[in-house]
Amino acid sequence: MTIIALDTATSILSVALVSGAFTAQKEEWYFEINAGQRHGELLMEVSDRLVKTAGIKPGAVDLVVCMKGPGSFTGLRIGFAAAKGMALALKIPLLTVPTLDCMAIACSLWPGMVIPVIDAKKQGYFTAFYRKEQRITEYLNVAPARIAELILQDSKNTSPNASGIREILLTGPDGERVLPVLQALLSTVPDMQDQIRLDPRGNKGWGKELVELAQRRLQARNGELIKELPVRSEVFSGPLYLRKSDAELGRPDHEAPIEGLGGLIPPQVLY
């Protein structure tokens, strides 16, 4: 099975390709570049070059995967357009994976809380809380003050003697920006500032994680590959934005509502 994954959710454009997935002959190719606002210009060129480098004919690709969001409005639309084009042209399924999930699994060895953050503009950040890859909140669009409140709420439910699990790791492209704000907001809480760390590799492409989560979705609970079964295509799906764009809001000073999707536990548990 050959899978191509397109990550256009942030300024770092990345594409991952896996051939021979789930076999001993599995081979992987990867490319990333800080594309800024050039995703539309570079995505198809990079994808085509990666396929040629792997020595694979375009018709041999079995599955295309792209970021579902949240993330850059324009970037997500470009990724969806390219992925849908590939899926329809090659008559293959399209799968989408939430951006924050990809960022969290990159930190799966972290013993405590993992909090990926992406700038959502309007003084808000896209985020969710994870423990060992399991999401324990909704996907959120909130201000740093709300993130601090949720951290405090979680700390009250965590044993102070539980080694490591009280440690918090900020990751994602905007972790460095949020870290000092959270430290200032939590400055009056004993030892809390020292528990928040920054992932030094948080600002990168997530194509590898994207294709990894896609492969997990292709496995049945007993570990057997579902490759002989029809894979539900998301070719008619759309991005997860969490808020409206400035154009949709109608005026630049309009405050966007905080929105989210249901998490693994009811939102009222943390709110």
CATH of the domain at 66: 3.30.420.40
- Same domain? 112 vs 197: yes
- Same domain? 189 vs 211: no
Q: Report yes or no on 168 lying in a domain.
A: yes
Could you list the residue range(s) of the whole structural domain that residue 138 is in? Answer: 107-201+260-269
Q: Report yes or no on 246 lying in a domain.
A: no
Q: Report yes or no on 148 lying in a domain.
A: yes
- The pTM of this model reads 0.86
- Same domain? 163 vs 29: no
Q: Report yes or no on 245 lying in a domain.
A: no
List residues bridging with 28 in a β-sheet: 18
- Same domain? 138 vs 165: yes
- Same domain? 78 vs 44: yes
Checking 255-259 for CB contacts under 8 A at 24+ apart, the result is: 255/122, 256/120, 256/121, 256/122, 256/124, 256/141, 258/124, 258/140, 258/141, 258/142, 259/141
- Same domain? 146 vs 190: yes
Q: Report yes or no on 77 lying in a domain.
A: yes
- Same domain? 265 vs 154: yes
Q: Report yes or no on 254 lying in a domain.
A: no
- Same domain? 149 vs 91: no
- Same domain? 141 vs 235: no
Q: 70: helix, coil or strand?
A: coil
CATH classification of the domain holding 158: 3.30.420
- Same domain? 61 vs 195: no
Number of domains in the chain: 2
Q: Report yes or no on 53 lying in a domain.
A: yes
Q: Cα 1 from chain centroid? A: 23
Q: Report yes or no on 195 lying in a domain.
A: yes
Output the CA torsion sign for 105, 110, 111, 117.
negative
- Same domain? 84 vs 212: yes
- Same domain? 33 vs 91: yes
Output the tens digit of pLDDT for each of the chain's 271 residues. Answer: 899 999 999 999 999 999 998 889 999 999 999 999 999 999 999 999 999 999 999 899 999 999 999 999 999 999 999 999 999 999 999 999 999 999 999 999 999 999 999 999 989 999 999 998 999 999 999 999 999 999 999 888 776 655 556 799 999 999 999 999 999 999 998 888 889 999 999 999 999 999 999 999 887 655 555 554 456 789 889 999 987 755 555 555 544 433 333 333 333 322 2
Rounded Cα gap, residues 88 and 67, in angstroms = 17
Token representation of residue 19: 């051939």
